[in-house]
Copies of this chain bind each other. A is one copy, B any other.
Amino acid sequence: MTADNRADHRPASPPLTERQEARRRRILNASAQLAARGGFDAVQMREVAEAAGVALGTLYRYFPSKIHLLVATMQDQLQHLHTTLRKRPPAGADPSERVAETLMRTFRALQREPQLADAMVRALTFADRSVSPEVDTVSRLTTAIILDAMGTEHPTPEQLSAVRVIEHTWHSALITWLSGRASIAQVKIDIETVCRLIDLTAPETGDRRA
């Protein structure tokens, strides 16, 4: 539905052999598993390599840094999530309700593996320019999830800005929760607050207040 679903997270340049695909998968699984145990710090490259049954050099050939690895892990998890969400779309009447519902549902999913969430989100916000393409992919996936929830086919630039702001809020709120500086209730309120922007920027009702 997002136009191109091929190579959504692969470099795609040289098609991987079966064994390589399997290695990649083992690495990603090992990463997620270690992260789920002990968060960002527990994802140690030597351990990932060992758990995946792969030499350190190979790990680095597949993922050029720990940040790349964790961002790829996030891509992977998001992909799952997106699929799941498609199967049971949010039920709210307004777009803003549906988006808030979707995000809170996602949030509850992350709550189940807070350490994994920690590792992925920290990597995402810590990523520097060298990881831009990968981070961008994650961002596009998130945008797709939100637009899906809105049910908007052709968003206006204004709406896209609202979606970006929602994403900003989403990431940042997640971080404050993960680092223990905000409660779940507060995150919920903030998500609902920012989702109001969707009504505000709906094109049908004119610019705003018609």
Contact = CB atoms under 8 A, between A and B. Distances in A.
A135 B169 CA distance: 17
Q: Which of A118, A139, A169 gathers the greatest number of chain B CB atoms within 10 Å?
A: A169
> Looking at chain A's contact residues, is the secondary structure mostly helix, strand, loop, or mixed?
helix
A193 B126 contact: no
- Taken together, the copies of this chain in the complex come to 2
Given A168-B169, A209-B209, A181 B139 contact: yes
A129 B162 contact: no
A109 interface: no
10 contacts: A122-B128, A125-B175, A126-B126, A127-B179, A139-B181, A161-B186, A161-B189, A165-B190, A193-B197, A209-B209
A152 interface: no
Interface of A: 40, 118, 122, 125-129, 131-132, 135-136, 139, 158, 161-162, 164-165, 167-169, 171-173, 175-176, 179-181, 186, 189-190, 193-194, 196-197, 200-201, 209
Contacts of A161: 186, 189-190, 193
